[in-house]
């Protein structure tokens, strides 16, 4: 898989340069989820696809920005689902954004995930690779240098509650309020990559994106966003659930399916499971 990680590192450097100089205006296209694509989304997607095309162990790829699976090498072993530039609308206001990659074998389902990677483009560019453990690298002089292993504490201090509050279920709102009453601090930028990265680096907490009255199945996509981070959180000693079960066990019927999701340290996830079991 080293070849894949090297390809991701190369694409991260190109996307970093694109973010710094590229056009942040809207294109005339919509992606499969119905979002208007920015020119940056399309250009980042093209960068990654062009680089992955030269990696012989990749059998097929699918991007959040594309409708269909793209076959690459018939004899390849790995399938990669990726979100080329998550949170791209935040580039305009100069907040951090990211790229997310899930590396699958056999099929694009949560239980076939074998590694996950994300890149945060912020004041620094950092890359996190989860295989059996979770390792963070930082871009220094155009090279990714190993910095540290990431592990969550049993209980954290940060709370990142996503989506529109007036569409939350009352029991969900009560749960979030209680977490704040327990002393947690609000940290939500609107970019899941920097928000989940912050929780990982600061020892733990909860990131939630529930099902809501306007989006009962949540907003975040299984293959491109939820599964890769679920894998990373589990390998970092934490958990990821859909409210009731492991996020990696959520069934996928379509590549662009979404799911409610909660990522956190063990204590916070225990609370979510209890509240959802009793109320949902
Ligand atoms: P995108 O893939 O269209 O960029 O959307 C994904 C982003 C996540 O990074 C973030 O957690 C979420 O959407 C924010 O949504 P909301 O503003 O509804 O909380
Ligand atoms: Mg996204």
What are the extents of the domains in the chain?
Answer: 156-277
Is any ligand 1 atom within 6 A of the Cβ of residue 192?
Answer: yes
* DSSP 3-state of 122: coil
Query: Looking at residue 233, what is its pLDDT?
Result: 98
- φ/ψ (deg, to 5) at 11: -65, -35
Q: Which of 45, 86, 195, 268 is catalytic?
A: 86
pLDDT band at 31 (very low <50, low <70, confident <90, very high): confident
Summarised one tens digit per residue, pLDDT across range 96-132 is: 999 999 999 999 999 999 999 999 999 999 999 999 9
> Best mutation site among 86, 194, 213, 215 for ligand 1, i.e. most ligand atoms within 8 A of its Cβ?
86
Residue 160: pLDDT over 90: yes
> Best mutation site among 90, 163, 190, 208 for ligand 1, i.e. most ligand atoms within 8 A of its Cβ?
190
- Whole-angstrom Cα Rg for the chain: 18
pLDDT band at 35 (very low <50, low <70, confident <90, very high): confident
Ligand nearest to the CA of 225: 2
Active site residue 67: no
Per-residue CA distances from 93 to 21, 103, 121, 129, 207 (Å): 14, 31, 13, 27, 22
Q: Are 124 and 140 in contact (CB under 8 A)?
A: no
Residue 22: pLDDT over 90: no
User: What's the mean pLDDT in 134-141?
Assistant: 98
* Of 77, 55, 69, residue with least CA distance to 10: 55
Half-sphere exposure of 132 (CA within 13 A, CB side): 0
pLDDT band at 219 (very low <50, low <70, confident <90, very high): very high
Residue 53: pLDDT over 80: yes
User: What's the mean pLDDT in 215-244?
Assistant: 98
CATH of segment(s) 156-277: 3.40.190.80
Residue 9 CA, ligand 1 centroid: distance in Å: 23
Distance CA 268, CA 63 (A): 31
Query: Looking at residue 28, what is its pLDDT?
Result: 84
Q: Give the Cβ contact number of residue 186 at 10 Å.
A: 11
Active site residue 83: yes
Distance CA 13, CA 154 (A): 34
| CA dihedral of 102, 108, 110, 114, whole degrees rounded to 10 | -50
Q: Give the Cβ contact number of residue 182 at 10 Å.
A: 13
Query: Looking at residue 34, what is its pLDDT?
Result: 77
Residue 53, marked binder: no
pTM: 0.97
Residue 211 CA, ligand 1 centroid: distance in Å: 14
pLDDT band at 205 (very low <50, low <70, confident <90, very high): very high
Query: Looking at residue 29, what is its pLDDT?
Result: 86
Residue 89, marked binder: yes
pLDDT band at 30 (very low <50, low <70, confident <90, very high): confident
DSSP 257: -
List of residues 6+ apart from 170 with CB closer than 8 A = none
Distance CA 53, CA 122 (A): 27
Q: Are 36 and 42 in contact (CB under 8 A)?
A: no
Q: Which of 40, 41, 45, 242 is catalytic?
A: 41
Lowest mean pLDDT among 11-15, 24-28, 126-130: 24-28
User: What's the mean pLDDT in 85-103?
Assistant: 97
Query: Looking at residue 249, what is its pLDDT?
Result: 98
* Mean per-residue pLDDT of the chain: 96
């Amino acid at each position: 898989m080293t070849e894949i990680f090297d390809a991701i590192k190369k694409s991260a450097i190109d996307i970093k340069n694109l973010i710094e100089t590229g056009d942040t205006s809207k294109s005339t296209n919509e992606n499969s989820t119905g979002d208007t694509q920015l020119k940056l989304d399309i250009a980042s997607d093209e960068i990654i696809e062009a680089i992955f095309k030269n990696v012989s162990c990749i059998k097929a790829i699918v991007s959040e920005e594309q409708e269909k699976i793209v076959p690459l090498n018939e004899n390849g072993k790995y399938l990669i689902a990726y979100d080329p530039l998550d949170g791209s609308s935040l580039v305009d206001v100069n907040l951090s954004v990211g790229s997310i990659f899930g590396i699958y074998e056999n099929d694009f389902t949560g239980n076939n995930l074998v590694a996950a990677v994300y890149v945060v483009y912020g004041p620094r560019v950092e890359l996190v690779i989860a295989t059996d453990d979770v390792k963070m690298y930082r871009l220094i002089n155009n090279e990714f240098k190993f910095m540290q292993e990431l592990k969550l504490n049993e209980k954290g201090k940060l709370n990142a509650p996503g989506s529109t509050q007036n569409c939350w279920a009352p029991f969900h709102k009560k749960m979030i309020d209680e977490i704040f009453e327990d002393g947690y601090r609000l940290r939500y930028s609107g970019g899941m990559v920097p928000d989940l990265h912050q929780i990982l680096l600061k020892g733990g907490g909860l990131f939630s994106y529930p099902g809501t009255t306007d989006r009962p199945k949540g907003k975040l996509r299984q293959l491109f966003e939820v599964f890769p981070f679920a894998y990373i959180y589990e390998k970092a000693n934490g958990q990821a659930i859909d409210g009731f079960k492991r996020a990696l066990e959520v069934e996928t019927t379509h590549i662009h399916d979404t799911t409610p999701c909660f990522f956190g340290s063990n204590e916070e996830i225990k609370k979510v499971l209890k509240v959802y079991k009793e109320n949902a």
